[in-house]
Structure 1
Amino acid sequence: MFDSITFKNSVGPGPLLDIGAIAEALLFYGRVSIVGNSATVKSLLSGIPPFIALELLRDKRIEFYYLADQVAISSTPTGSGRHLHGLMRFSSPQHTIEKVGPEAFRAAAGNTGQARVGSSQFTRLIQPLSHEGFDQSAVLASILDHRATERSVSALLSLVAPGYTLGEPLLFRIEQQKEGFIVDTNLDFEEANAVYRKTVPVEHSSLSEAYLLALMQGAYEATYYAATLNSEVAVAPVERVVQSAAIESIVQRRTKSEREIDSFIELTMNDARTIREAVNTGRVPFVKVVKLLDSADKFRHWLHQQPVDAELVKTYYQAVVSDSWADKLPAKSARWAIFTGLGVAADSFGTAPWGTIGGVAISAVDSFLCEKLLAGWKPHQFIEGDLKTLFMADPGPGKAKTVDA
C-alpha cells in the first residue's frame, strides 16, 4: 500500500507539475518519482527551491527520470483537405540532460559559485529514461478499435467541452493508409473549440484530431511509466477519461489511493485538501514539508506494511487502538473517543486502571496523553503531532498565514 507513485507533465492549463500533490506524496509514499523533459525540470525548480530539490534527490526521497526522447503525433495535410497522421518518436541534441540540467538549476538558483556546484550535482542525480520499450504499433492497434476510441473521445469532450453537442452519434474511426492513417469523424472542431477555450487558453492547446490522438497515446504512455518504474502514476482528469480498458487497472489503483488519502485527511485533519492546497497556495513553504519527512518515515513504513487492498482509515483506526485502553471500549465509544476528542472522561469507564487517571479527558487531539496511554509507536503520533502542527495552524479570520521557512 502506497509503495510508489510517479508524476509526469499534467494535461491542461496551469503548472506542468502539481507541487502540492508531490508534497503530499512525499508524506504518504515510500518512493516518489518524476518523469519528464526540459519543461518538467524547469517546473520542478520553480515550485521547489533548487537546493531543496537537490537535497530531496540526494536523499533519494525523489527520483527524477529525464526522457531522452519524446513520442508525438505527426499530422500532414493532404490534397483532399484531410490530415495524414502517424505515431512518431524523436529527440533533440539541444535538450539532453547534460545541457538542460545545469542551465535550469542555475536559472532558478542564480549564477553563483554555489549554484554552479549545485547544478553539477543536480544533473548527476537525474536518471535517463527512454521510450525504447514503448510499443507504438500496439498503441495503433488499440485505437483501431473504434468502439473503445469513440468512448474515450466522447468522455473527453464531455469533460473539456461540456456544452458541445453533436446531435448525432459520435464518429471517430481510424483508417489505415500506406504511410499512416486518417481519421473519419463528424466532429465540428470549430464549435468544440469555442466551448473548450472557455476554460483552456488558445496558447495552451486546441482540440483537433491530432490532439485527441496525442491524449490517447499519452494514456498508453502512462502505462509504460507504471510498468517501467513499477509504480502508480498520477494522471490529470483529462487523461483519466481517455484511459482504455487495457490500462484501466492502473488508473483505478491510483484513483483508489487518492480516495483513501482524501478520506484519511478528512477524518484526521478535517480538511480533505489541507496538505496539497496549503503548499500550492504558499501558506506552507515546501521546505517545511521537507523538515517533516524524517518524522514521517515511521508512518510511511507502517503504510507500506499494509495489504494492497486495505482501507487506510480502517487500518489506521485499528493501529491506534490496538493493545491500548481503547480496546476495552465498545466499538462506537472507541471511535468516538479516538477521533472526535469530545471530552470523554476516563473515570466514566469505571474500571481500573483507567479510573485512576481521574478526570483527564481522553482525546486523540492531545498527543501527549495518547503517547502515555498507548504502548509503543502509533501512526497517530505523527498525524496528531508534527503533521497537524504544520498544516492546521489557524491563520485567523481573513488572513492567509505563511509558516516561516
Structure 2
Amino acid sequence: MAFAQGWSTLAVAYKSNSQYHSSQMFEHIVLRRSEAGTPVSAGQIAQALLFYKKVHVILDVGSFRTLIGSVGPEGLLALLARPDFSAVYSEETLATVTNVVGPMKVHTFDAMTVTGHETVGIRKSTAERIEFHLNRQGITGRRAKEFTRRFLQYVPVRKLTGDHFRSGGLIEAARQDLRDAEYVHAAVRRILSLLPEGGDPGTGLKFEVLETELGNYVFENIDFGSINGRRAQQVPPLEPLTVAHILNQLQEARTDLELAAHYGGDFVTSTTTSGVIQVRHEALLRRTGINLAAQQTFLEVTLPDMPMIAELIDSGERSFADFMRLYERSVKFKQWLSAATPDTGLVREYLLAASSQDWIRTSEAKLIRYLFTGAVSLVDPTLGVAAGLTDKFFVDKIFAGWRPNHFVDGKLKPFLSP
C-alpha cells in the first residue's frame, strides 16, 4: 500500500461555473494540507484567519490529531464555535493498493479507515474511533466522551468514497482519469519534475495504464533506481518512489479538484497535486495564486526579516492562545483587508492608506485643529505650548482615524518579535 508523497505547497481556486463571484480578495479559504504537505497545523490556521473572512478545514485523522496536540480539545472546540471558522471530518485516507499477479504488479485505487488496534479491538462508530484517537494522546474518560459529543455537533462527517462531494465517489472519478492516456502521460511528467529528486524524465518517457478487472497494469520506463538512490542520500532519507506513489498523486489531484469545486474559494494542498491539476485546469489556480502571492509580498514588505505567523506558532515560540488574543484586536485590519481588490494590489493599498493624510490638510481639519488647541489656551494659557507640541499627535491619532499600519506596527510586529 502506498500513499501520496512529496507534499509541500499548493493552492487551487475553483468555482463550479468557472467564474468568481467577488472581485474582493481573501474571501474564503479551504485548507487540506500544510505547506510541507503534513497535516493542517495551528500556525497555518492562524495565518489564514488573519487574512481571510472565512476559513474552512478538511480534517483527516492526521490533522485532527495534530490540532488536538497543539491547541488542545478545549481550544479546538472554541475555534469551531467561531462564526469565521468551520470544518468537515473525513476518516478515510486515500491509498493505492499493489498486489502481485503472476510476474506482474496490479494497482487499485482505494481508501482506508483506522478502526482500532489489536490492543483495544475494533471501534465500530465514528464517535468510538474519535475517542480512540484521543485516548492515544492521553485524553481519556469523561473528558474524551464530552469532547467527542461536542465535536460532532460542530463538524459533519463526510466520506471521500460516498456521494457527498461527487456522485459515485472521488475514487471512481480518479479511475476515470486513468483512461485518458494523454493526460496521464503529461501528469506523470509533471509529478516526476516536482517530486524531490524526481528530475526531468526526458522526451522518451513511457507510462501506459492498462485497466482490467483485476486492477491497473502499468508499463513504464522510469529509472526508479537512480531516483531512489538520490532520495536515499537526502537528510533525512526520503521514502523510495514507486509506481503506486505516482498513481496515488493522480488520485489525490482528482480529489483536490473535486473538493475545490465543491467548496469554491481558495483551496490549499500540495505542490505536486497542484502541478497535476495545472495540466488540465491551469486557469483554476490563478485566483488563489494572486491571493497567496499578495499575502506573501505584503508580509515581506511590511514586516521584513520577521518570521511568518505560521512559523512562529508551529515552532512553539508563540501559542495559538497568544494569537487568538492578537486576532481579537484585528477587527479593523480585517475590515480593511476585505475591501482590497486584486486590481489595485494589497501592498499599494496599504502604502496609500498608511500615508494618507489628505483630510488633515483640508480647511475643515485645520479649523478643528485651531479650535482644539485654541480652546485649551483660552482655558489655561500656560497649556498652550504643551497643546501645540501634542497637536500633531492628537490630529494623527484622533482626527486622521485608523490606518492599517496601526495594527501592523502596533500589534502584529510586537507579536512576531517575542
> Which SS does the other structure have where 2:88 is aligned?
strand
Greater relative contact order (Cα 8 A, min sep 6): structure 1 or 2? 2
Aligned to 2:40: 17
- Report the Cα offset of residue 224 of structure 1: 1.8
Secondary structure (helix, strand or coil) at the match of 1:48 reads helix
Deviation readout 1:225-263 (Å, 9 max, x if unpaired): 222222322122333333243343343333322211111
Question: So what's the TM-score if we normalise by structure 2?
Answer: 0.73
Instruction: Assess if the C-alpha contact under 8 Å between 2:360 and 2:399 holds in 1.
Output: no
Q: Does 1:211 align with 2:237?
A: no
Aligned position for 2:404: 379
Percent identical residues: 22
Pair member with larger Rg: 2
Partner amino acid, structure 2, of 1:387 = L
Q: For the residues of structure 2 that align with 1:371 and 1:107, how far apart are their CA atoms? A: 52
CA distance in 1, matches of 2:336, 2:43: 23
Range that drifts further, 281-290 or 243-252? 243-252
SS of 1:22's partner is helix
Match of 1:124 in 2: 153
- Which residue is equivalent to 2:67? 44
1:325 aligns with 2:358: yes
CA contact (8 A) 2:197 2:227 kept: no
Q: 1:165 to 1:267 in 2, by over 3 A?
A: closer
Q: Are residues 245 and 8 of structure 1, via their aligned partners in 2, closer, same or farther at CA, if it must alter by over 3 Å?
A: same
Asked whether 1:175 is paired with 2:202, we answer: no
2:328 match: secondary structure: helix
Task: Name the counterpart of 1:101.
Answer: 130
* DSSP 3-state at the match of 2:109: strand
1:264 aligned to which of 278, 294, 298: 298
Aligned pair 1:225/2:225, yes or no? no
Q: Distance in 2 between matches of 1:213 and 1:369?
A: 63
- Give how far 1:213 is off: 1.0
Pairwise mapping of residues 95-174 of structure 1 onto structure 2 (< 5 A)?
A: 96-105=125-134, 108=137, 110-111=139-140, 116-131=145-160, 132=163, 133=166, 134-162=169-197, 169-174=204-209
2:219 to 175, 179, 184: 184
CA offsets, 1:69-104, max 9 Å, x none?
Answer: 4443232222232x2223335556548531233344
Aligned amino acid, residue 85 of structure 1: H
Give the direction of change, closer, same or farther, for the CA distance of 1:61–1:105 in structure 2 (3 Å limit): farther
Q: Distance in 2 between matches of 1:67 and 1:97?
A: 10
Residue from 4, 24, 27 that aligns with 1:3: 27
Partner of 2:332: 298
Which digits, 9 at most, give the CA deviation of each residue in 1:250-295, with x for residues without a partner? Answer: 4333332221111111121114643122112221111111112222
Write the distance in 2 (CA, Å) between the matches of 1:90 and 1:112: 27
Match of 1:333 in 2: none
CA spacing shift, 1:295–1:87, aligned 2, 3 Å: same
- Tell me how many residue pairs correspond in the alignment: 363
d(CA) in 1 for partners of 2:55, 2:395 = 34
Q: Quick check: 1:85 aligned with 2:110?
A: no
TM-score (norm 1): 0.76
Asked if 1:315 is matched to 2:349, the reply is: yes
Gap change, CA 1:187 and 1:282, over 3 Å in 2: same
Deviation of 1:40 (Å): 2.1
Contact 2:57 2:88 in 1 (8 A): yes
Relative distance call for 1:308 and 1:135 in structure 2 (3 A) is farther
Residues 263 and 11 (structure 1), Cα distance of their counterparts in 2 relative to 1, 3 Å cut: closer
Aligned CA-pair RMSD: 3.6
Structure 2: 5+ residue runs without aligned partners?
Answer: 1-24, 116-122, 374-386
